[in-house]
Amino acid sequence: MENAYKLLAIQKNISNSKAKELIDRGIVYIGDQKVKIARGLMDDDVHFRVEDFSDIEVIFEDFDIIAVNKPAMMDSYDLEKKFEGSHLIHRLDRETSGVLLLAKNEEFLAQAIDAFKKRVVVKEYVAWIEGIVYEEMEIKLPISTYKRGGKAFSKVDMKLGKSAITKVKPQEIQGKKSKVSLFIESGRTHQIRVHLSSINHPIVGDSQYGSKTSSKRILLHAKAISLLGYNFEAREPKEIYKYK
């Protein structure tokens, strides 16, 4: 057993102080779990992963807003550290890639949050899902969210759930998988994932909500968003653009 920062320093061939700094910045992970305590004791054979912010694609930036194409496997909150002084307007799940917006001042942040509350924000996602979908559909099922093992988990809940609508539009089919466009008006936690699971078409790689297909990530991408006169679109990563 050894301190996390010392093991990281050895693995990455960096100084102990640099390793401690990386852990304190919150960008060091073991699997999907963030390493939070630099002096915490770890097994000698543990493998660390350090998030790399250098290749974050900035889609647009002005005096009010920054739009980025968030890579999969990166926490939304880590982007606030990358762009000093910015504030997240909304969030994406860690495994979800795509358009993420940050406000550069408090006034615009308040306007953006109000737009989300009034549901005047248009969001489009794209995903690969289990099974074959030929026709457009609309899923209108209420969702409730709770904590389980320190993680958020949502479910369809006809009694206590909050209203949620997801519109599904098929794009293409490969084998027994379908690529679909998804449009949501509300923004419930894991809404798209829960709704697709409820109709027996979970997102590929989403084992939490029923996918049986192994994947390095959940194949969900936030493709486009329109907010307060702005319109942004994030290019699809290769695993979304073409399943195989």
Over residues 134-157, mean pLDDT: 91
Percent of the chain with pLDDT over 90: 69
Over residues 166-193, mean pLDDT: 94
Question: pLDDT tens-digit profile of 206-239?
Answer: 999 999 998 888 999 999 999 999 999 999 999 9
Residue appearing with tokens 């693995």: 11
Phi, psi angle pair for 238, to nearest 5° = -60, -35
**168: closest CA among 149, 190, 140, 187?**
140
Query: Is 240 within 8 Å of 228 (Cβ atoms)?
Result: no
Question: pLDDT tens-digit profile of 70-117?
Answer: 988 888 888 888 888 999 999 999 889 999 999 999 999 999 999 999
Annotated active-site residue 55? The verdict is: no
**In angstroms, rounded to a whole number, what is the distance separating the alpha carbons of residues 160 and 141?**
11
Phi, psi angle pair for 129, to nearest 5° = -125, 160
Q: What does the pLDDT read at residue 79?
A: 87
Query: Which uninterrupted H or E stretch holds 156?
Result: strand 151-156
| Strand pairing report for 97-103 and 220-227 | parallel
Catalytic residue chosen out of the listed positions 93, 114, 157, 206: 93
pTM: 0.82
Over residues 58-73, mean pLDDT: 94
**In angstroms, rounded to a whole number, what is the distance separating the alpha carbons of residues 139 and 133?**
13
Question: Which of the pair, 203 or 31, is modelled with greater confidence?
Answer: 203
Q: Name the least confident of 122-136, 151-165, 191-205.
A: 151-165
